[in-house]
């Protein structure tokens, strides 16, 4: 069993995280950086804060361990772990969005799928109450702007005979 290399990741607020290479390459972005030999020193991740990076590393570790395990961790168990990881009262909205952006930047497909599915489920569950702090469409403001724009256009086009 080859001893895996340790990779250092530095978050935007200067904190360093040491992880095994197998965990780090769950992220396609980091994988390409390592392949391009940019990883001798710490890999800087200017778009990811330490709080989010810690969570991402926790996710990647779990998934790497699950695929490596001798006794084949049950798919159901992993799904249950994912659900607990992303659970609405554990993760507030800002963190969820930060996780999505981090997963997108770091190119971790499974985390991106998980977080996007969570947002989709939230949309399904809270079908448009006007002010939904989770969805944060700030719909009332957008509404007013849109109505104003529409009104001016409608009046303008009335004069120009356009239907």
CB of 87 to another protein, least distance (A): 18
100 lies in the site for another protein, by CB under 8 A: yes
Measure the CA–CA gap between 75 and 66, rounded to whole angstroms. 9
Among 49, 50, 104, 110, binds another protein (CB under 8 A): 104
Check binding of 101 to another protein (CB under 8 A). Answer: yes
| Residue 124 touches another protein, criterion: CB under 8 A | yes
Residue 76 within binding range of another protein, rule CB under 8 A: no
What would the 3-class secondary structure string for 92-127 be?
CHHHHHHHHHHHHHHCCHHHHHHHHHHHHHHHHHCC
For residues 71 and 20, give the distance between their C-alpha atoms in angstroms, rounded to a whole number.
21
- Residue from 47, 50, 93, 110 that binds another protein (CB under 8 A)? 93
Q: How many residues does the chain have?
A: 163
Residue whose token pair is 């239907």: 163
User: CB-wise, 1 or 162, nearer to another protein?
Assistant: 162
Q: What are phi and psi of 111, to 5 degrees?
A: -70, -40
Whichever of 49 and 93 has its CB closer to another protein, that residue is 93
Residue 83 binds another protein (CB under 8 A): no
Q: Pick from 41, 58, 61, 48: which is nearest to 11 by CA?
A: 48
Q: Phi, psi (5° rounding) for residue 90?
A: -85, -35
- Which positions lie near another protein, rule CB under 8 A? 93-94, 97, 100-101, 104, 112-113, 116-117, 119-120, 123-124, 127-128, 130, 135-139, 141-143, 145-147, 149-151, 153-154, 157-163
């Amino acid at each position: 069993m080859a001893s895996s290399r340790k990779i250092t990741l530095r978050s935007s607020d200067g904190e360093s995280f040491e992880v095994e290479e197998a965990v780090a390459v769950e992220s396609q972005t980091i994988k390409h950086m390592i392949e391009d030999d940019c990883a001798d020193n710490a890999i800087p991740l200017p778009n990811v804060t330490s709080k989010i990076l810690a969570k991402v590393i926790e996710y990647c570790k779990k998934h790497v361990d699950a695929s490596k395990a001798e006794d084949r961790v049950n798919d159901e168990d992993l799904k249950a772990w994912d659900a607990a990881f992303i659970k609405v009262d554990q993760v507030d909205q800002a963190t969820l969005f930060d996780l999505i952006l981090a997963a997108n930047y770091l190119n971790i497909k499974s985390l991106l799928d998980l977080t996007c599915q969570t947002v989709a489920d939230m949309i399904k569950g809270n079908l448009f109450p006007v002010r939904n702090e989770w969805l944060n469409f700030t719909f009332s403001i957008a509404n007013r702007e849109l109505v104003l724009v529409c009104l001016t256009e409608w009046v303008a086009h009335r004069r120009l005979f356009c239907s």
